Amino acid sequence: MKKPPYLLSGIILFGFGIYFLLQYYQLSLFQGFYSWPTLFVIVGIAFLVNGYAGKDYSFIFPGVLLTGIGLHFHITQHLAVTIDISGIFLLLISIGLFLTYVKTGNGLFQGILFLAISLLLLFFDKLKEGLLKNGQSIAWIDQAWPYLFIVFGLYFLFFHKRK
């Protein structure tokens, strides 16, 4: 029987209360954090705490995604850097799958797959530049990404053997 998510609700309400209280008093120390990415981080941390402390490991994956997305947007806003969001999102998925694997023993292959795809997306421009300097072109990969995703997705949906 699943436990009711009181821990999750409590942490979210507590976190939002602190957020709105700090926003109300406009503390200069937290000036750049009164935005929606902070709300993502609060909810993500609540999921992670519920996943680990509440021993409901299905909450780890969404916790990693929400916390990571919030942190990503804070970092890109405050450091004025641009990082490919699709590569970061797939990297967060792989981290979530790895952390879930540590607790449940499921998802290792998918974590490795998403890690490889995320690294390719994050470093594709540098890879393409390096190969172009050597006289090789990998422009076909730009057109092949959607098809590869569809093929892998169909494989996992219909052909991958379940335990």
Structural domain including 56 reads 6-123
Question: Is 81 within the bounds of a domain?
Answer: yes
pLDDT at res. 1:
44
Question: Is 97 within the bounds of a domain?
Answer: yes
Question: Is 152 within the bounds of a domain?
Answer: no
pLDDT at res. 62:
95
pLDDT at res. 149:
85
pLDDT at res. 133:
74
Question: Is 158 within the bounds of a domain?
Answer: no
pLDDT at res. 163:
53
Question: Is 136 within the bounds of a domain?
Answer: no
Question: Is 142 within the bounds of a domain?
Answer: no
Local structure of residue 58 (DSSP, 8 states): G
pLDDT at res. 41:
94
Dmax over Cα atoms in the chain, in whole Å?
60
Question: Is 131 within the bounds of a domain?
Answer: no
pLDDT at res. 42:
94
Compute how many other C-beta atoms are within 10 angstroms of the C-beta atom of residue 124. Answer: 16
Question: Is 13 within the bounds of a domain?
Answer: yes
pLDDT at res. 80:
74
Contact indicator for 54, 76 with CB cutoff of 8 Å: no
Tell me how many domains the chain contains.
Answer: 1
Regions of the chain where pLDDT drops below 70: 1-5, 30, 137-140, 142, 161-163
Task: List phi, psi (to 5°) of 55.
Answer: 55, 35
